[in-house]
Amino acid sequence: MFKGQLTRRMAMLLAAAAVLGAGAIEAAAQAYPTKPVKIIVPFAPGGRVEGIARLLANSMSIDLGQPFVVESRAGAGGAIGSDFVAKAAPDGYTLLLVSAGTHAILPNVDKKLPYDSVKDFTAIANLVEGFTFLGAHPSVEAKTVAELVALAKAKPGTIGFASSGVGTYGHFAGELLKISSGADLLHVPYRGSGPALNDIAAGHVPLMMAGELVELAKAGKVRILATTNERRWFELPDVPTMKESGFPQFTAHSWIGLAGPAGLNPEIVAKLNAAAGKALADPKAQDQLKTLGVLPNFSSAADFAARIAADRAVYAEIVAKANLTFQ
- 187: helix, coil or strand? strand
Same domain, yes or no, for 143 and 192?
Answer: yes
| Residue 1 forms part of a structural domain | no
| Residue 39 forms part of a structural domain | yes
Task: Say if residue 150 is exposed, middle or buried (CB neighbours under 10 Å; 0-12, 13-18, 19+).
Answer: middle
Looking at 45-201, which runs of residues are DSSP E strands? 68-72, 94-99, 121-130, 133-136, 160-163, 186-189
C-alpha of 52 from chain center: 10
Residue 85 makes CB contacts below 8 A (sequence gap 6+) with 40, 94, 95, 96, 121, 259, 260, 261
CA–CA separation, 27 and 67 (whole Å): 20
Instruction: Find out whether 169 and 100 touch, Cβ atoms under 8 Å.
Output: yes
Same domain, yes or no, for 118 and 147?
Answer: no
We report the CATH number of the domain holding residue 70 as: 3.40.190.150
Same domain, yes or no, for 140 and 120?
Answer: no
Instruction: Find out whether 217 and 136 touch, Cβ atoms under 8 Å.
Output: no
| Residue 246 forms part of a structural domain | no
Count of structural domains within the chain? 2
Same domain, yes or no, for 113 and 262?
Answer: yes
Write down which residue in 209, 227, 245 finishes a domain. Answer: 227
Residue 141 makes CB contacts below 8 A (sequence gap 6+) with 147, 151
Instruction: Find out whether 78 and 102 touch, Cβ atoms under 8 Å.
Output: yes
| Residue 80 forms part of a structural domain | yes
CA–CA separation, 106 and 115 (whole Å): 10
| Residue 232 forms part of a structural domain | no
CA–CA separation, 22 and 8 (whole Å): 21
Range of the structural domain that residue 167 is part of: 133-227
Same domain, yes or no, for 50 and 199?
Answer: no
| Residue 179 forms part of a structural domain | yes
Same domain, yes or no, for 172 and 205?
Answer: yes
Same domain, yes or no, for 122 and 38?
Answer: yes
pLDDT at 155: 94
| Residue 269 forms part of a structural domain | yes
Tell me how crowded residue 94 is: count the other CB atoms within 10 A of its CB. Answer: 20
**Taking CA 319 as the corner, what is the angle to CA 150 and CA 151, rounded to the nearest 5 degrees?**
10
Same domain, yes or no, for 119 and 138?
Answer: no
pLDDT at 22: 46
Local mean pLDDT, 10-residue blocks, the chain (327 residues): 61 60 61 97 90 97 98 92 98 97 90 93 96 95 96 95 86 87 93 90 96 91 94 92 89 88 98 98 94 92 96 83 63
Length of the chain: 327
Same domain, yes or no, for 258 and 318?
Answer: yes
Same domain, yes or no, for 123 and 74?
Answer: yes
CA–CA separation, 39 and 42 (whole Å): 10
We report the CATH number of the domain holding residue 216 as: 3.40.190.10
Q: What letter does residue 111 receive in the DSSP assignment?
A: T
| Residue 249 forms part of a structural domain | no
- What pairing do the DSSP bridges indicate for beta strands 223-227 and 186-189? unpaired
Helices (H), 73-131: 79-86, 100, 106-109
pLDDT at 15: 60
